[in-house]
Amino acid sequence: MTVSYDWIMNHSGLPWLKLDVQVPTKEIYEELKNAELGDNVIYGESGYENYPPGTNLQEAGKIEKWTGFVLHGIDAYKPRACANYGYENEDDAPYQWTDRGEMCPKTKQFLIDNIPCKRFCRVRTQILGPGGFLNPHTDSDVSGLGLNISSPPKTRYLMLAAYWPKEVEFKLDEKVLPVEEGNIYMFDISKYHAVYNRSPEARWALGISADFSESHEWEDLVVRSYQKYGANA
Ligand SMILES: [Fe+2]
């Protein structure tokens, strides 16, 4: 059966899809770690799964477990959606490779060569520290792969699992997804999802958003990925 790109992305109801891309994971992880200069941006609340009632969460390091920095975006310290920085329209946001992105030349080249987009938007590290977790939440009110409420539908969000200890659990709609280090995924994040890091090490992912309009190469990649992996989702 031939399926269309539009059906896969917007109507299939797939909760997730792994992309058919070979990732030089070790090189990427090494570069990302070297570009971490100890001044990560705190993304938001995270914490310990079973902290006792009454714990002072700030003291317990609750808000320091979910951090990162920007490789491509407005600058290395502006990880959030462009509306937070005064750009209402993503097309007007001056996204570019940041100094941190330039510190990761293999990662940058890998993305340029393997993610066929019209334009990268935000590429940022997503570091979830040991014991950290992201509470169940949604990021889109429309169902579809890679849709995010903070971007127009031509922009889709991907996640590259750069370092993923086996005790890290990614839950989507109460199902545990078999995320494997060195793979890139799209999710339907209109569904509730949560991440728990029960390992003693930090989990590293790259969150990649890009404008995929007018990219036939991208559409071919999605169709090929669906044919290869769609039945697993
Ligand atoms: Fe999310």
What total number of domains does the chain contain? 1
Q: How far is the CA of 126 from the centre of ligand 1 (A)?
A: 11
Q: How far is the CA of 146 from the centre of ligand 1 (A)?
A: 11
Q: How far is the CA of 172 from the centre of ligand 1 (A)?
A: 10
Q: Is 51 inside a domain boundary? A: no
pTM of the model: 0.92
Q: Is 80 inside a domain boundary? A: no
Q: How far is the CA of 212 from the centre of ligand 1 (A)?
A: 20
Q: How far is the CA of 77 from the centre of ligand 1 (A)?
A: 19
- Would you state the pLDDT for residue 48? 43
Q: Is 12 inside a domain boundary? A: yes
Q: Is 55 inside a domain boundary? A: no
**Dihedral-angle region of residue 54 (phi above 0 means left; psi in -120 to 50 means alpha; beta otherwise):** left
Paired with 177 in beta bridges are 170
- Would you state the pLDDT for residue 49? 44
CATH for 124: 2.60.120.330
Q: How far is the CA of 21 from the centre of ligand 1 (A)?
A: 22
Q: How far is the CA of 192 from the centre of ligand 1 (A)?
A: 8
- Would you state the pLDDT for residue 186? 98
Q: How far is the CA of 60 from the centre of ligand 1 (A)?
A: 23
Q: Is 144 inside a domain boundary? A: yes
Q: Is 121 inside a domain boundary? A: yes
- Would you state the pLDDT for residue 209? 98
Burial class (CB in 10 A: 0-12, 13-18, 19+), 38: exposed
- Would you state the pLDDT for residue 172? 95
Give the structural domain span for 168.
5-46+60-74+89-232
Q: How far is the CA of 49 from the centre of ligand 1 (A)?
A: 17
- Would you state the pLDDT for residue 62? 53
Q: Is 52 inside a domain boundary? A: no
Q: Is 93 inside a domain boundary? A: yes
Q: How far is the CA of 163 from the centre of ligand 1 (A)?
A: 18
Q: How far is the CA of 117 from the centre of ligand 1 (A)?
A: 22
Below-50 pLDDT ranges, the chain: 47-52
